[in-house]
Amino acid sequence: MLHSLSGSDIALVVSVFLACAVEAVEAVTIILAAGHSRDWKSAFQGVISALVVLAALIVVLGPSIDKLPKSTLRLAVGGLLLVFGMQWLRKAILRASGFKALHDEEKIFKEEVAAAEKVAKVSHFVVGDWYAFTLAFKGVLLEGLEVVFIVVTFGIIQKGSNPQAFKLAVWGAALAVIIVAIAGFAVHKPLSKVPENTMKFVVGILLTSFGIFWGSEGAGATWPHSDLSLLGIIPGVVLVCFALVALLKSRKAQGKPVRALNLPTFSEPGKDSSRLVRLGGGFLFFWYDFIIGDDWRVAAGVVLGFFATHALGVSAWWIMPVVVAAMLSYTLHEATRPVKTAV
């Protein structure tokens, strides 16, 4: 099968594999913490329950998304990929430049274990330890939602030009999850040796590049050399990221205090709120955080860029690359701007 894959097929499989591997590492860390500190049986019940929910979503969403007009699909998927990709890139650039601590799965594992050990054991229905069940269920469901999103979007959107795209996306995701799960449970510890931050940087570049390409087409632009334009978009995104890392490292070297990073833009209801308000607010918070992320200005910039692209028509392919470079530069500048101190 491998010898029959084209360059775009390989790029699709690699993109899906790396993106899903990152999510799988985080999910496995949570599962190990739940099982190690609480109860393995309850943790696995949570995992199985989450997988059933995710499978149902794929069955429901796949055919529904496939029925959307191609331009609408490319616009929506391109926008989501851009917002996702730029979230990952912003964090990766902040980590690479020293403004944000590196993502440490070993530390996360210990924190999850410490928190789990403090909670009393409670049984519900056939679940012996409800906390272990809930912790594993939420971890797999939340990380799995991103896997489902990546598989469905990459697979469905490429289906028109490549009938086997969805199958390739599923294979890429399945391989990532299987390999990470086997490695994690074989050593029975979090995958702290996996270069997750490097993977996130690469995945952020790929998601952003595909988002620029598909989103621009969905907004009405035509790329000069069709799919070959990706060979220019991806290196362009890489150059922007490297330039921003260099600039932020220079700012970091100045040693001036900076503003707190990733200021919250939306808060969950507090414990004093009614149960209905907490449930509704938690539901809205989850989707806001899942789609918009930690900076609403990124999503706003993407939407404005699409409007400008649509207004200028087929020759406006250059707008989204400019918007992405500008939004990354602006939001990172704001996040690392030195604090003015009184003289």
What are the tens digits of pLDDT across the range 156-206? 666 655 667 778 888 888 898 899 888 887 776 666 666 767 888 888 898
pLDDT at position 226 is: 84
What would the pLDDT profile of 298-326 be if each residue is shown by its tens digit?
Answer: 889 999 999 999 999 899 999 999 999 99
How does DSSP assign 263-282, residue by residue? --SS----TTS-HHHHHHHH
What would the pLDDT profile of 228-287 be if each residue is shown by its tens digit?
Answer: 898 899 999 999 999 999 999 988 887 666 654 544 445 555 555 555 555 556 557 666
Alpha helices of the chain — where are they, by DSSP H? 7-37, 40-66, 70-96, 105-117, 130-157, 165-187, 196-218, 230-253, 275-291, 296-312, 319-335
Tokens 């069955």, located at residue: 59
- Do the beta carbons of residue 269 and residue 281 sit within 8 Å? yes
Dihedral angle computed from the Cα positions of residues 62, 66, 70 and 73, in that order, rounded to the nearest 10 degrees: -30
Mean pLDDT on 22-38: 85
* Residues 179, 25: Cα–Cα separation, whole Å: 10
The answer for residues whose C-beta is within 8 angstroms of residue 330's C-beta and 6 or more apart is 297
pTM: 0.74
pLDDT at position 301 is: 92
| Backbone φ, ψ for residue 328 (5° rounding) | -60, -45
Domain boundaries, the chain: 2-335
Query: What is the crossing angle of helices 7-37 and 130-157, to 10°?
Result: 180
Class of residue 143 by CB neighbours under 10 A (exposed 0-12, middle 13-18, buried 19+): buried
pLDDT at position 66 is: 65
Exposure string of 231-266, with b = 16+ CB inside 10 Å and e = fewer, is: eebbebbeebbeebbebbeebeeeeeeeeeeeeeee
Exposure string of 188-205, with b = 16+ CB inside 10 Å and e = fewer, is: ebbbbebebbebbbbbbb
What would the pLDDT profile of 46-101 be if each residue is shown by its tens digit?
Answer: 999 998 988 887 777 766 666 777 778 788 888 888 988 898 899 889 888 888 77
Taking CA atoms, 64 is separated from 83, 156, 170, 291, in Å, by 22, 10, 17, 19
- Please give the angle made by the CA atoms of 70, 74 and 77, to the nearest 5 degrees: 135
pLDDT at position 1 is: 47
* Residues 121, 131: Cα–Cα separation, whole Å: 7
- At residue 292, does pLDDT exceed 60? yes
* Residues 234, 211: Cα–Cα separation, whole Å: 11
- Do the beta carbons of residue 17 and residue 176 sit within 8 Å? yes
Mean pLDDT on 207-233: 90
pLDDT at position 308 is: 95
Neighbours of 179 (CB within 10 A): 14
